[in-house]
Amino acid sequence: MKAAQVAIVTGASRGIGAEIAKHLARDGYQVVVNYASNAAEADKVVQDIAAVGGKAIAVKANVADATEVAAMFDAAEKAFGKIDVLINNAGVMPSHLPTLTDTDDKAFDSMVAINIKGTFNTLRLAAKRMEQGGRIVNLSTSIVGTTLPGYSVYGATKAAVETMSQIFAKELRGRGIRVNVVAPGPVATELFLTGKTPERIEALSKMAPLERLGQPDDVAKTVSFLVGEQSGWVNGQVLRVNGGLV
Protein backbone atom coordinates (compact mmCIF):
# COMPACT_ATOMS: atom_id res chain seq x y z
CA MET A 1 0.00 0.00 0.00
CA LYS A 2 1.29 3.45 -0.94
CA ALA A 3 2.23 5.52 2.10
CA ALA A 4 0.01 8.51 2.84
CA GLN A 5 1.29 11.91 1.76
CA VAL A 6 2.25 14.39 4.47
CA ALA A 7 1.43 18.10 4.37
CA ILE A 8 2.53 21.00 6.56
CA VAL A 9 0.05 23.90 6.59
CA THR A 10 1.28 27.06 8.30
CA GLY A 11 -1.17 29.37 10.02
CA ALA A 12 -3.72 26.56 10.04
CA SER A 13 -5.57 27.17 13.28
CA ARG A 14 -8.34 29.22 11.67
CA GLY A 15 -9.66 30.80 8.48
CA ILE A 16 -8.23 29.78 5.13
CA GLY A 17 -5.41 27.75 6.72
CA ALA A 18 -7.80 25.65 8.79
CA GLU A 19 -9.97 24.96 5.74
CA ILE A 20 -6.93 23.97 3.69
CA ALA A 21 -5.77 21.59 6.43
CA LYS A 22 -9.20 19.94 6.67
CA HIS A 23 -9.58 19.73 2.90
CA LEU A 24 -6.18 18.07 2.48
CA ALA A 25 -7.04 15.62 5.26
CA ARG A 26 -10.20 14.68 3.37
CA ASP A 27 -7.97 14.13 0.34
CA GLY A 28 -6.01 11.58 2.36
CA TYR A 29 -3.05 13.64 3.54
CA GLN A 30 -1.61 13.41 7.02
CA VAL A 31 -1.51 17.01 8.17
CA VAL A 32 0.68 19.16 10.39
CA VAL A 33 -1.52 21.99 11.67
CA ASN A 34 0.86 24.83 12.44
CA TYR A 35 -0.15 27.67 14.74
CA ALA A 36 1.61 30.62 16.36
CA SER A 37 -0.33 31.17 19.58
CA ASN A 38 -3.83 29.71 19.80
CA ALA A 39 -3.40 26.07 20.76
CA ALA A 40 -7.12 25.58 21.40
CA GLU A 41 -8.09 26.53 17.85
CA ALA A 42 -5.33 24.35 16.37
CA ASP A 43 -6.42 21.42 18.52
CA LYS A 44 -9.98 21.92 17.30
CA VAL A 45 -8.79 21.59 13.68
CA VAL A 46 -6.96 18.39 14.61
CA GLN A 47 -10.09 17.07 16.29
CA ASP A 48 -12.21 17.92 13.24
CA ILE A 49 -9.78 16.00 11.06
CA ALA A 50 -9.75 13.01 13.42
CA ALA A 51 -13.56 13.02 13.49
CA VAL A 52 -13.66 12.16 9.79
CA GLY A 53 -10.94 9.52 10.04
CA GLY A 54 -7.94 11.68 9.19
CA LYS A 55 -4.59 12.04 10.92
CA ALA A 56 -3.16 15.36 12.08
CA ILE A 57 -0.98 16.93 14.75
CA ALA A 58 -0.82 20.52 15.94
CA VAL A 59 2.64 22.10 16.09
CA LYS A 60 3.38 25.52 17.53
CA ALA A 61 5.96 27.53 15.61
CA ASN A 62 6.51 31.16 14.76
CA VAL A 63 7.44 30.94 11.09
CA ALA A 64 9.53 34.10 11.40
CA ASP A 65 11.92 32.13 13.64
CA ALA A 66 14.14 29.72 11.68
CA THR A 67 14.82 27.60 14.75
CA GLU A 68 11.11 27.10 15.40
CA VAL A 69 10.52 26.26 11.73
CA ALA A 70 13.22 23.59 11.94
CA ALA A 71 11.54 22.16 15.04
CA MET A 72 8.22 22.05 13.15
CA PHE A 73 9.82 20.08 10.32
CA ASP A 74 11.36 17.76 12.94
CA ALA A 75 7.93 17.20 14.49
CA ALA A 76 6.39 16.44 11.09
CA GLU A 77 9.07 13.86 10.30
CA LYS A 78 8.86 12.33 13.75
CA ALA A 79 5.09 11.95 13.54
CA PHE A 80 4.70 10.94 9.89
CA GLY A 81 8.18 10.06 8.60
CA LYS A 82 8.47 12.57 5.73
CA ILE A 83 7.23 15.83 4.21
CA ASP A 84 5.59 15.86 0.76
CA VAL A 85 3.66 19.12 0.74
CA LEU A 86 4.21 22.59 2.22
CA ILE A 87 1.45 25.20 2.29
CA ASN A 88 2.66 28.64 3.36
CA ASN A 89 -0.54 30.23 4.59
CA ALA A 90 0.65 32.09 7.71
CA GLY A 91 0.38 35.83 7.24
CA VAL A 92 -0.52 39.08 8.99
CA MET A 93 -2.26 42.25 7.87
CA PRO A 94 -3.30 45.31 9.94
CA SER A 95 -7.07 45.29 10.37
CA HIS A 96 -7.31 49.09 10.14
CA LEU A 97 -5.68 49.17 6.67
CA PRO A 98 -3.27 52.08 7.18
CA THR A 99 -1.89 54.08 4.28
CA LEU A 100 1.84 53.78 3.78
CA THR A 101 2.30 57.11 5.58
CA ASP A 102 0.34 55.86 8.59
CA THR A 103 2.01 52.43 8.82
CA ASP A 104 4.13 52.31 11.96
CA ASP A 105 7.40 50.43 12.38
CA LYS A 106 5.82 47.65 14.43
CA ALA A 107 3.25 46.82 11.75
CA PHE A 108 5.85 47.04 8.97
CA ASP A 109 8.31 44.79 10.79
CA SER A 110 5.60 42.26 11.64
CA MET A 111 4.42 41.94 8.03
CA VAL A 112 7.95 41.58 6.72
CA ALA A 113 8.85 39.05 9.42
CA ILE A 114 5.82 36.80 8.97
CA ASN A 115 4.87 37.27 5.34
CA ILE A 116 8.33 37.37 3.77
CA LYS A 117 10.83 35.95 6.26
CA GLY A 118 8.38 33.27 7.37
CA THR A 119 7.93 32.08 3.81
CA PHE A 120 11.68 32.25 3.22
CA ASN A 121 12.38 30.18 6.33
CA THR A 122 10.07 27.35 5.31
CA LEU A 123 11.13 27.34 1.66
CA ARG A 124 14.82 27.19 2.51
CA LEU A 125 14.29 24.21 4.77
CA ALA A 126 11.87 22.50 2.39
CA ALA A 127 14.55 22.50 -0.31
CA LYS A 128 16.70 20.38 1.95
CA ARG A 129 14.14 18.14 3.60
CA MET A 130 11.18 17.72 1.27
CA GLU A 131 10.63 14.48 -0.63
CA GLN A 132 11.50 14.21 -4.32
CA GLY A 133 8.43 15.29 -6.27
CA GLY A 134 7.11 17.45 -3.44
CA ARG A 135 4.70 20.34 -3.86
CA ILE A 136 4.75 23.81 -2.39
CA VAL A 137 1.92 26.35 -2.47
CA ASN A 138 2.51 29.84 -1.12
CA LEU A 139 -0.39 32.18 -0.36
CA SER A 140 -0.30 35.67 -1.82
CA THR A 141 -3.14 38.12 -2.45
CA SER A 142 -4.97 39.65 -5.39
CA ILE A 143 -4.07 43.02 -3.87
CA VAL A 144 -0.86 42.66 -5.88
CA GLY A 145 -3.12 43.18 -8.91
CA THR A 146 -5.77 45.54 -7.54
CA THR A 147 -3.30 47.82 -5.68
CA LEU A 148 -6.04 49.18 -3.42
CA PRO A 149 -5.12 51.96 -0.95
CA GLY A 150 -4.49 50.75 2.59
CA TYR A 151 -2.62 47.62 1.56
CA SER A 152 0.71 49.10 0.45
CA VAL A 153 3.06 47.22 2.77
CA TYR A 154 0.94 44.07 2.94
CA GLY A 155 0.73 43.98 -0.85
CA ALA A 156 4.46 44.57 -1.14
CA THR A 157 5.23 41.63 1.11
CA LYS A 158 3.00 39.35 -0.94
CA ALA A 159 4.52 40.60 -4.20
CA ALA A 160 7.84 39.51 -2.72
CA VAL A 161 6.37 36.08 -2.00
CA GLU A 162 5.25 35.76 -5.63
CA THR A 163 8.67 36.69 -7.01
CA MET A 164 10.49 34.45 -4.55
CA SER A 165 8.20 31.54 -5.44
CA GLN A 166 8.68 31.84 -9.18
CA ILE A 167 12.45 31.99 -8.90
CA PHE A 168 12.52 29.18 -6.32
CA ALA A 169 10.60 26.93 -8.73
CA LYS A 170 13.48 27.33 -11.20
CA GLU A 171 16.16 26.83 -8.56
CA LEU A 172 14.65 23.42 -7.70
CA ARG A 173 15.32 22.07 -11.20
CA GLY A 174 15.99 18.35 -11.07
CA ARG A 175 14.18 17.78 -7.78
CA GLY A 176 10.70 17.32 -9.25
CA ILE A 177 9.36 19.79 -6.67
CA ARG A 178 6.64 22.13 -7.94
CA VAL A 179 6.18 25.60 -6.48
CA ASN A 180 3.03 27.62 -7.12
CA VAL A 181 1.17 30.55 -5.62
CA VAL A 182 -2.50 31.09 -4.84
CA ALA A 183 -3.51 34.76 -4.67
CA PRO A 184 -7.05 35.05 -3.25
CA GLY A 185 -9.28 38.05 -3.55
CA PRO A 186 -11.55 39.10 -0.65
CA VAL A 187 -12.40 36.02 1.42
CA ALA A 188 -14.89 36.00 4.27
CA THR A 189 -12.51 35.25 7.12
CA GLU A 190 -11.90 36.92 10.46
CA LEU A 191 -8.66 38.42 9.09
CA PHE A 192 -10.56 40.10 6.26
CA LEU A 193 -13.76 41.08 8.08
CA THR A 194 -12.20 42.60 11.22
CA GLY A 195 -12.21 46.39 11.24
CA LYS A 196 -14.42 46.83 8.17
CA THR A 197 -17.89 48.38 8.20
CA PRO A 198 -20.83 46.40 6.77
CA GLU A 199 -20.97 48.95 3.95
CA ARG A 200 -17.30 48.39 3.11
CA ILE A 201 -17.75 44.62 3.15
CA GLU A 202 -20.79 44.88 0.88
CA ALA A 203 -18.90 47.09 -1.56
CA LEU A 204 -15.96 44.72 -1.70
CA SER A 205 -18.25 41.75 -2.21
CA LYS A 206 -19.68 43.38 -5.35
CA MET A 207 -16.34 44.24 -6.95
CA ALA A 208 -15.84 40.86 -8.66
CA PRO A 209 -18.07 39.92 -11.61
CA LEU A 210 -19.34 36.95 -9.60
CA GLU A 211 -20.58 39.47 -6.98
CA ARG A 212 -19.71 37.67 -3.76
CA LEU A 213 -16.91 37.28 -1.29
CA GLY A 214 -14.79 34.21 -1.61
CA GLN A 215 -15.12 31.46 0.97
CA PRO A 216 -12.21 29.59 2.58
CA ASP A 217 -13.31 26.47 0.72
CA ASP A 218 -12.83 28.25 -2.61
CA VAL A 219 -9.16 28.67 -1.76
CA ALA A 220 -8.78 25.21 -0.24
CA LYS A 221 -10.11 23.56 -3.39
CA THR A 222 -7.57 25.45 -5.47
CA VAL A 223 -4.72 24.44 -3.17
CA SER A 224 -5.93 20.84 -3.37
CA PHE A 225 -5.74 21.04 -7.16
CA LEU A 226 -2.21 22.48 -7.11
CA VAL A 227 -0.83 19.73 -4.88
CA GLY A 228 -2.67 16.97 -6.72
CA GLU A 229 -1.75 14.89 -9.75
CA GLN A 230 -4.04 16.80 -12.11
CA SER A 231 -1.79 19.87 -11.88
CA GLY A 232 1.42 17.94 -12.55
CA TRP A 233 2.46 20.31 -15.37
CA VAL A 234 1.73 23.49 -13.39
CA ASN A 235 4.88 25.00 -11.87
CA GLY A 236 6.09 28.49 -11.04
CA GLN A 237 2.64 30.00 -11.54
CA VAL A 238 0.47 32.52 -9.68
CA LEU A 239 -3.22 31.57 -9.71
CA ARG A 240 -5.57 34.36 -8.73
CA VAL A 241 -8.70 33.07 -7.04
CA ASN A 242 -10.96 36.10 -6.90
CA GLY A 243 -14.11 35.66 -8.98
CA GLY A 244 -12.66 37.73 -11.82
CA LEU A 245 -11.76 40.77 -9.70
CA VAL A 246 -8.46 41.31 -11.50
- Return the active site residues: 154
Query: Crossing angle, helix 39-51 and helix 15-26, to 10 degrees?
Result: 20
Give the separation between CA 190 and CA 15, rounded to whole angstroms. Answer: 7
Q: Which amino acid is residue 214, in one-letter code?
A: G
- How many CB atoms within 10 Å of residue 241? 17
Whether the CA torsion 14, 21, 71, 105 is positive or negative: it is negative
CA geometry: angle 232, 236, 242, nearest 5 deg: 90
Contact 240, 185 (CB under 8 A): yes
- Across 133-205, the runs of DSSP E, i.e. the strands, are 135-139, 178-184
